[in-house]
Structure 1
Amino acid sequence: MSDLQMRVSDEDRERGARKLQEAFMEGRLTQLELEDRLELALTARTYGDLLGLIADLPADAPAVDEVVELASKNGHIQRSGDWAVPRRLRVASKYGSVELDLSEAVIPHPVVEIDLDLKYGSAKIVLPDGAAADIDRFRADWGSTVTTNVPGRAQPGALYVVVSGETKYGSLTIRYPRKRWFTH
């Protein structure tokens, strides 16, 4: 019996379904293709059945750590440009500020969770155009209110950032990149 004829587990089926959903989020599959392939993936019996559904999709992106922790007592925490964003980012800052610019980052996940633990500092998160952010799990005790000009609901095919945590005396701002004006 070849490996392709071996029976798959529920976990194998779910992994295949996740790969198909990621391909849809990246724009590689249409809604109809996703629905057709998901139905087949969730009822696949062998590895051959499952592999046939994802064979025309690119191999997984390079691995990015699932959880990354950044901490500072009084320094500025900043990430910008071409950096790898983990699935979950925990940021702790006692007196410093935090600036996370995701607009040019490598983000292989459709959902990124950012957990902020700020005492006296503030945080600014810059999202790629079209992304959305859920800030319902973030609390500002004595600081400024949370300001955002991005949608709060997930948008099909776009990054969705879930922000949680708290600040005692700081603030949180979430926005898109500033438009650059060029003159000729």
Structure 2
Amino acid sequence: MNAQAGGPDHRPPPISDDDRDTAVRRLQEAYAEGHITHEELDDRLHQVLTAKTHGELASALASLPEENAGTTSTIAAVGGRIQRRGAWRVPRSLTVASALGRVHLDLSRAVIDHPVVDIELRLGTGGAKITVPRDAIVDIEGLHTEWKAPLYTTRRRSRPSGPRIRISGTLGLGRLKIRHARH
């Protein structure tokens, strides 16, 4: 017999390190912009670091202003191709969602204003190709694949001066290919 949502066997998903990191970053930004005092920052950081549920995490962020629209973006499509290339501005956090179709993100000529960029993939059927800057550092530890493992080879001579690209999320029937730009 299956447990229904809200039943005795239903457990909310655990808080991930990324959830905590995002909450800490939002608190630091709110403090830096003068929205909360130093004491409020200390109290809320303690709440974030000891939170056991997403509700507790959310209460620590209550009353903060919305995140800057330029730092978070979502690209979504049911089918077809999602593509970004050329000189486009990469947000701090990007979610790409597609039920059917392919995704191609080319960051090689993109404007990247942040030292860390989080890309969350929510893909059903169809592959994804991501081209990162030559000196980028890529982290795919948060990515869960259901069919084929990602194709990515770490660059031997990556300079630590490049942006850190963290790729997470889920990839259904398809493969993620990541490559570094040649120029």
TM-score (norm 2): 0.60
The separation in 1 between residues aligned to 2:78 and 2:168, in whole angstroms, is 20
User: 1:72–1:94: 8 Å Cα contact kept in structure 2?
Assistant: yes
* Bigger strand fraction: 2
CA distance in 2, matches of 1:158, 1:93: 28
Whose radius of gyration is greater, 1 or 2? Answer: 1
1:71 pairs with 2:60: no
User: Given the alignment, which residue of 159, 165, 170 partners 2:169?
Assistant: 165
1:132 Cα deviation (Å)? Answer: 1.1
Map of 1:93-104 to 2, 5 A cutoff? Answer: 93-104=98-109
Q: Which amino acid aligns with 1:110?
A: P
Tell me the TM-score normalised to structure 1 length: 0.59
| Structure 1, unaligned runs of 5 or more | 1-10, 17-62, 180-184
Residue in 2 aligned with 1:147? 151
Instruction: Name the CA distance, whole Å, in 1 between partners of 2:171 and 2:124.
Output: 5
Counterpart residue identity of residue 158, structure 1: G
Q: In structure 1, what is the equivalent of residue 113 of structure 2?
A: 108
Rounded to whole Å, the distance in 1 between the matches of 2:74 and 2:150 is 22
Counterpart of 1:85 in structure 2 is 90
Question: Cα RMSD between the aligned structures?
Answer: 2.5
Shift of the 64–151 alpha-carbon distance from structure 1 to 2, 3 Å rule, reads farther
Counting matched residue pairs gives 120
Name the aligned partner's letter for residue 162 of structure 2: A
Alignment-mate amino acid for residue 169 of structure 2: G
**Alpha-carbon contact 1:140-1:168 (below 8 Å) kept:** yes
Does structure 2 conserve the Cα–Cα contact (< 8 Å) formed by 1:64 and 1:85? no
Q: Which residue of 2 aligns with 1:132?
A: 137
Partners of 1:177 and 1:70 lie apart in 2 by 23
Deviation at 1:96, TM superposition (A): 0.7
